[in-house]
Structure 1
Amino acid sequence: MFSFSSDAKAPKDFRWENRILICYNWEESSKTQVEALGNGFEERRLLYFGFNGEEIRESNFSGEIDESSFLQLRKNESVKWILIGLDGGVKAFGEQKPEIEEVFKTIDSMPMRQSEIRKRVKDGRNR
């Protein structure tokens, strides 16, 4: 009997809550790069999901995901990563290993992120 957990989240379930970075060829060096940038993910409300083949290898999301829904976003094998914005739309993708600093710069240039930064500064939270 096939069972599907209703608690498993698909990318659409994160809409308006989190941005998503999906990496399709996850490597240990990716993990090192992510760990080095630590709180930058939390600050940007960015979840990452690192796949190797069809299996999730690494994530900063502790819940259960519907892996197939994440894999379906990959339109062809040359795509190595996809960035999804708060609105659920694909904001960027690449055919090379993602440079997390560049992903952060892309996010920081988005209008919604600019609004978050202005609000944080207005509220007196400089960082």
Structure 2
Amino acid sequence: MKKNLFSLILFLGAIATSLSYFPVWAQNDPLESYRWQHRLLLVFAPKVNDPRLTEFKQAISTVQCEFNDRDLLLGVFANDTRSRIGKRDLTSYDVAALRSSYGIKSNDFAVILIGKDGMRKSHLSEVPEMKQIFEQIDAMPMRQEEISNSTNSCLSNP
């Protein structure tokens, strides 16, 4: 019995020690699960019916194939509705962490492009043209590789 208890304690200690080697940012980053899988367009608006948010969502809907082809997910953050990235709801803790990380106040409008590497590629305070976003993505080395390996019919610029 004592041997089993001792083995369990050693096992749990080994797990705890190994977890301490994970970088803190990886443990607390609400975007970590998207890294190397998706590019993110995070849109922060004071309210869900903000005209800039509405305009941006309409612009995306007109180029949905190109949006999807670039492995983009839309994140919408507004004070009066649940925040989400793609189909996943975020906790209020995650939203607060993102606002803090990117320096966005609750009454700010911002569009942030996050690359597949998890790094911020642009931070805009106005509604961008989708062509501008797509050109920036298409200039990225990882995207260049995707283009060369793809046969998708909507690869042309919008």
> TM-score, normalised on structure 2?
0.62
Question: What residue number does 1:28 align with?
Answer: 54
Provide the aligned length of Structure 1 versus Structure 2: 114
Give the conservation status (yes or no) of the 8 Å contact 1:54–1:71: no
Question: Is the 8 Å Cα contact of residues 22 and 70 (structure 1) preserved in structure 2?
Answer: no
Larger radius of gyration: 2
Describe how 1:63-74 pairs up with structure 2 within 5 A.
63-66=88-91, 67-68=94-95, 69-74=97-102
1:63: how far off? 2.5
Aligned-CA RMSD value:
2.4
- Where does the alignment leave 5 or more consecutive residues of structure 1 unmatched? 1-8
The answer to whether 1:118 aligns with 2:144 is: no
Cα separation, 2, equivalents of 1:62 and 1:126:
24
8 Å Cα contact 2:84/2:90 also seen in 1: no
CA spacing shift, 1:57–1:33, aligned 2, 3 Å: farther
Matches of 1:63 and 1:96, distance apart in 2: 25
Matched, 1:100 2:130: yes
Amino acid at match of 2:100: Q
Q: 2:34 aligns with which of 14, 17, 37?
A: 14
TM normalised by structure 1 equals 0.75
Structure 2: runs of 5+ lacking an equivalent: 1-28, 154-158
Counterparts of 1:58 and 1:76 in 2: how far apart (Å)? 16
* Structure that is richer in helix per residue: 2
Report the residue type matching 2:73 in the other structure.
L
Residue type at the aligned position of 2:121: K
- Asked whether the 8 Å contact 2:42–2:76 carries over to 1, the reply is yes
What CA distance in whole angstroms lies between the structure 1 residues aligned with 2:130 and 2:124?
A: 12
Runs ≥4 residues deviating over 6 A: none
